[in-house]
């Protein structure tokens, strides 16, 4: 079965396309209105996915922040937070990470066959651990597994490597980018999409601009992947 959920990436970058500094630590890029927009996107999603790189550097909880949105989800018969998913080949998610500690709701860690058995075992009491892929997580199969559990709408919150792998695998439908009002610079600072990169113009996914929204100090660009 090839059915997969609708997948969108949401990210915030500096005016020069960086999503973090050369130290790869979390920096507040967007403004207050944008925080609210992101919260709304989370509340409207069935699952939120991040890469292990983001968990290790930013320790995000990925919870829905607004009480009203949490209550609306509960009224709809959902958990107050979407399923939080980590793409983590080697089961490196720290047991005390906010994603495992904060807020109610399901957590799923997708690991690969390369993950040490003892780490899978100790994480299993904090989250559901599912194995897919040999050395790294098979992203297509991960999305299919989520789809089979009723997940229809997936929000991807980075980082740069996971964004690349999903785009390169043609597994993304839309891309939303908050473009901020400062310059970060740095050869080694992560950008919206890192990974191997495309060499040939014909291979590069083309985007169709569906919306531009002016925010307090930056703007949000919404793209559809053709």
Our CA angle for 130, 133, 135, nearest 5°, is 115
Q: Least distance from C-beta 96 to ligand NAP, angstroms?
A: 18
Coil, strand or helix at 80: coil
CB of 214 to ligand NAP, least distance (A): 19
Q: What share of the chain is helix, strand, coil (3-state, %, to 5)?
A: 25, 25, 50
Distances (CA, A) of 209 to 107, 215, 225: 33, 17, 9
Shortest distance, position 166 Cβ to ligand NAP, whole Å: 8
CB of 71 to ligand NAP, least distance (A): 27
Tell the smallest beta-carbon distance from residue 126 to ligand NAP (Å). 17
Name the residue nearer to ligand NAP (CB basis): 151 or 189: 189
Q: Where are the alpha helices (DSSP H) in the chain?
A: 32-43, 52-58, 67-75, 98-101, 117-123, 139-148, 160-168
- Contact between 149 and 1 (Cβ < 8 Å): no
Distance CA 134, CA 106 (A): 25
Instruction: Considering the complex, state which of residue 52 and residue 151 has its C-beta at the smaller distance from ligand NAP.
Output: 52
Minimum CB distance to ligand NAP, residue 58 (Å): 5
Query: In angstroms, rounded to a whole number, what is the distance separating the alpha carbons of residues 141 and 88?
Result: 14
Q: Which is nearer to ligand NAP, 74 or 113 (CB)?
A: 113
- Return residues touching ligand NAP (CB under 6 A): 11-12, 19-20, 24, 26, 29, 50-54, 57-58, 87-90, 92, 136-137, 139, 157-162, 165, 190, 194
CB 10 within 8 A of CB 35: no
């Amino acid at each position: 079965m090839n059915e997969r959920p609708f997948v969108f990436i949401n990210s915030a970058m500096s005016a020069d396309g960086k999503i973090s500094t050369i130290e790869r630590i979390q920096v507040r890029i967007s403004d207050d209105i944008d925080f609210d927009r992101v919260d709304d996107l989370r509340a409207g999603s069935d699952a939120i996915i991040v890469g292990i790189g983001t968990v290790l550097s930013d320790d995000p909880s990925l919870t829905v922040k607004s009480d009203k949105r949490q209550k609306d989800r509960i009224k709809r018969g959902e958990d107050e937070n979407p399923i939080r998913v980590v793409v983590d080949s080697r089961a490196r998610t720290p047991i005390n990470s906010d994603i495992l500690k904060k807020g109610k709701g399901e957590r799923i860690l997708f690991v690969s066959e390369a993950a040490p058995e003892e780490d899978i075992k100790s994480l299993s009491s904090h989250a559901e651990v599912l194995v897919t892929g040999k050395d790294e997580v098979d992203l297509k199969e991960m999305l299919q597994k989520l789809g089979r559990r009723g997940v229809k709408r997936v929000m991807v919150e980075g980082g740069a490597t996971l964004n690349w792998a999903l785009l390169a695998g043609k597994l993304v439908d839309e891309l939303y980018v908050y473009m901020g009002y400062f310059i970060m610079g740095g050869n080694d600072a992560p950008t919206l999409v890192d990974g191997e990169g495309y060499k040939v113009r014909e291979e590069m996914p083309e985007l169709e601009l569906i919306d531009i929204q002016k925010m307090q100090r930056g703007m949000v660009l919404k793209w559809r992947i053709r």
